[in-house]
Chains A and B, each alone.
Chain A
């Protein structure tokens, strides 16, 4: 079909309808039919609307039910997510081994406790607890025992803690307890109770372990008001407790901070002095009692700090040990000692040079090679070196020490057991270890003058050495009478103020100059 717009005219078709008849009956019939049609349509519409209403009502009911179901599911899912979130938070705040709070949670809790205390006016104590000898437990019995020990200690700490106390594991063998109390006295009393954690022995996998711990306490606001300082001060108190090893709780004192700052300064200065080769050596003669001649010298470290104060080796050697540089110090000073005494050795003016070794050095499996390398570098025969050791290293790991000593002994280096008679003085050491020289502690000689027992012991130790082929040297001789006594008991050698003070290398050089070779 095609075409343009057009309109049909209605009029012709109106006339085409049969309704144009005006017969009344027909009109009535038509009207009747229209009315019936309208009624029927209206009823049909009503029926459909009613049916649609019912349909909508049912649909609405289904929607309400669906909505309720959805709400329930959303609620359940929200609960699940919330539980999972809480579990994740809990997991993130918990130490996996001991199931108490971890370091992260502890840090948050400490901040929170301090801010709360600022409003409540209460007192906050921070007690740090560190297990003593934990490494030894791990090394001796294995990590399983170590882990069980930590779990047991954590349980004991929890059992001592009050309901408001917060217990956390903040390091390998370190715990922290945050105490919230009305005053200082109640904090210290509460802290003291935690020392009881170490009062009873533990049995772990059939092994009885006597736990030991150090406890340091700092209190806010008495000592400080912020978490960083409180932690630092509690750490210093703990350090003091560990150093003193007396057990019980050590409460922070300002003096600890001063000591710490002094130590920090000394450490920095010592490191600097070492780097600039300002650690000197003095040499103390060791005299052959039979001939009265110098048979050897002992090298002794000397250090003068930036303020001109002479610092005792009894201070700076442990300092070097604590800050982990003792090995470097030992190697550097050994090289220096060998360089300074090489001519005396080469000239036959002394039989040997004695050099003190830290227990930590002996526990280094690289130590033997380092000593031999230094001897090789300086050009001194190992037979002329006598290393003085103490019992400390042997107690920690005898097997390793034996191994290190054996390697050096086979190369020709000799050993002296130092300070014998004041510690354990374990006779088995003389049997097990390659000891050539026994240095008898000065305390025995000092007591010998008025104490018969001391004299008997000294005589018998010297006799024992002779029989074992070990050379005996008595330390700390200060009087002629002591020298006479030592000669009478046939002690081989002597060292002390009575026969020679430690002196700088130049002085010793002068005194040895012109001596005939021994």
Chain B
């Protein structure tokens, strides 16, 4: 996993839970590098799992809620990084274009990054159905990103997601519905 995710996660923890909480979960996670991450490095995904697990234990919050909050934070960072990409866009367009965003904005900096994929299954004015395909179980984090985007554009949406394994591939089916 890219070091940028770790440093973003640290920023999110400091921002939401406080720097002492960050100290604690680093301590709890018992990381090999004592939690010294740099955005340009690459680290085992298991270390992120250990940090999130520690955070869940310390806060007592459900894992889904922790991941979703982190997802929203991530979206805020992206908007700050490439505001033009999200300016005057429709929410469904943004979600349908996540793969393009990965390829154009992320891949150029992190050519070897393991990025999730969002493929459009169906779309109309009100509802968008996406297939979330990732080697990591971070569907809740993805949901947080989408919520962050909706909030950024001032939209209210309902999100439903469930894992699907149809024999040929395993993915998470996301259904987004505009509420207003």
Interface residues of chain A, those whose CB is within 8 Å of chain B, are 1-8, 10, 13-14, 16-20, 30, 33-34, 36-42, 44-45, 48-49, 52
A14 to B39 Cα, complex, angstroms = 25
Check if B140 is an interface residue, CB within 8 A of chain A.
yes
**24 sampled A-B residue pairs with Cβ under 8 A:** A1-B143, A2-B160, A5-B156, A5-B157, A7-B72, A13-B17, A13-B18, A13-B61, A16-B60, A17-B20, A17-B23, A18-B20, A18-B24, A19-B18, A19-B20, A19-B23, A30-B20, A30-B23, A37-B34, A37-B35, A37-B36, A44-B33, A45-B39, A52-B40
> A17: which B residues are within 8 A, CB to CB?
17-18, 20-21, 23-24, 58
A4 to B21 Cα, complex, angstroms = 27
- Among residues of A, the one whose C-beta sits closest to the C-beta of B21 is A17
> A45: which B residues are within 8 A, CB to CB?
38-41
In the A-B complex, the 10 residue pairs with the closest CB atoms: A19-B20, A40-B36, A45-B38, A14-B18, A17-B20, A10-B16, A17-B21, A41-B36, A13-B17, A8-B69
Chain B min CB distance to A324 (Å): 80
Q: Are A19 and B69 in contact (CB under 8 A)?
A: no
Contact A16/B58 with A2-B159, A3-B159 known, Cβ cut-off 8 Å: yes
Chain B min CB distance to A293 (Å): 121
Check if B179 is an interface residue, CB within 8 A of chain A.
yes
Q: Are A20 and B20 in contact (CB under 8 A)?
A: yes
Binary per-residue interface labels of chain B (64-85) against chain A in the complex, 1 for a CB within 8 Å, 0 otherwise: 1110010010000000000000
- Among residues of B, the one whose C-beta sits closest to the C-beta of A41 is B36
Q: Are A48 and B18 in contact (CB under 8 A)?
A: no
> A34: which B residues are within 8 A, CB to CB?
19, 23
Chain B min CB distance to A271 (Å): 83
Contact A19/B38 with A1-B140, A1-B161, A13-B16 known, Cβ cut-off 8 Å: no
- Among residues of B, the one whose C-beta sits closest to the C-beta of A10 is B16
> A42: which B residues are within 8 A, CB to CB?
38
* 11 further A-B pairs in the complex, CB-CB below 8 A; given A3-B158, A14-B20: A2-B160, A8-B16, A13-B17, A13-B18, A13-B21, A16-B58, A17-B23, A19-B20, A19-B21, A41-B36, A44-B36
Contact A19/B24 with A5-B147, A10-B18, A13-B59 known, Cβ cut-off 8 Å: yes
Q: Are B143 and A37 in contact (CB under 8 A)?
A: no
> B59: which A residues are within 8 A, CB to CB?
13, 16
> B35: which A residues are within 8 A, CB to CB?
37
> A7: which B residues are within 8 A, CB to CB?
69, 72
- Contact with A10, one of B15, B24, B36, B157 (Cβ below 8 angstroms): B15
Contact A5/B151 with A13-B59, A14-B21, A19-B24 known, Cβ cut-off 8 Å: yes
> B151: which A residues are within 8 A, CB to CB?
5
Question: Chain A CB within 10 Å — which of B35, B38, B156, B158 has the most?
Answer: B38
Chain B min CB distance to A410 (Å): 99
> B27: which A residues are within 8 A, CB to CB?
33
Contact A41/B159 with A30-B23, A34-B23 known, Cβ cut-off 8 Å: no
A502 to B72 Cα, complex, angstroms = 129
Q: Are A44 and B41 in contact (CB under 8 A)?
A: yes
Q: Are B17 and A4 in contact (CB under 8 A)?
A: no
